[in-house]
Amino acid sequence: MSKIIGIDFQNTKAYLNNFNPKHGIKYNTIYNVKSGLKWECVEFVRRWYIKNFGVTFSEVACAYDLLKINSVYSIFDHSKYCFFLKTNINTINTGDILVFKKMKYFPCGHLAIVTYLDHKGNLYLSEQNIPWVHPNFSRIIHKTDLYNFGFCGYKTLKFN
């Protein structure tokens, strides 16, 4: 059984995935749009983007594959918007998706959303399957420390 581990500043619930194969694969939806496998990090990011921006992205096999996605589309009219890959840590903003490389505990990589950025360069993250240190965010990482956590880039949304 999965459990809620936090609710971020934008009121999006995050879950700890306790997947049991005998219960079968289950998908989540929001606003009649499939957000992904319960409760994977990709599902959280897609659900967050649907809820906060009204956009989603195509299926990915692994979290790390989000690096290859170049556009998102509106859930309302299917308009496409640019989805840029960036690596400059000085331009990270709220709403950007951090992509972490494949590691022992995350063989498909990992994704997290920047839900708050303070004036000191601290990133307040929201993500699934990471224990939360606060009811409204999973962890705080200073942008200069990202590479210590396997950071390999981030995706940012550009509305025309």
Q: What is the pLDDT of residue 21?
A: 66
Partner residues linked to 22 by β-bridges: none
Q: What is the pLDDT of residue 160?
A: 67
Question: Which amino acid belongs to residue 146?
Answer: L
Q: Are 47 and 29 in contact (CB under 8 A)?
A: no
Alpha helices in 10-156 (DSSP H): 41-53
C-alpha–C-alpha distance, residues 128 and 126, integer Å: 7
C-alpha–C-alpha distance, residues 110 and 93, integer Å: 18
Predicted TM-score (pTM) above 0.85: yes
CATH code: domain of residue 92: 3.90.1720.10
Partner residues linked to 7 by β-bridges: 13
Residues in the chain: 160
Q: What is the pLDDT of residue 20?
A: 66
Q: What is the pLDDT of residue 65?
A: 96
Q: What is the pLDDT of residue 103?
A: 85
User: Which range of residues forms the domain containing residue 89?
Assistant: 3-158
Q: What is the pLDDT of residue 143?
A: 96
C-alpha–C-alpha distance, residues 106 and 63, integer Å: 9
Please tell me the total count of domains within the chain. 1
Rounded to a whole number of angstroms, the distance between the first and last alpha carbons of the chain is 41
The two tokens of residue 69 are 């996605």
**Tens-level pLDDT at each residue, the chain (160 residues):** 578 999 999 999 999 887 666 777 888 999 999 999 988 999 999 999 999 999 999 999 999 999 999 999 999 999 999 999 999 999 999 999 999 998 888 889 999 999 999 999 999 999 998 999 999 999 999 999 999 999 999 999 988 6
Q: Are 153 and 67 in contact (CB under 8 A)?
A: yes
Q: What is the pLDDT of residue 158?
A: 86
Q: What is the pLDDT of residue 19?
A: 66
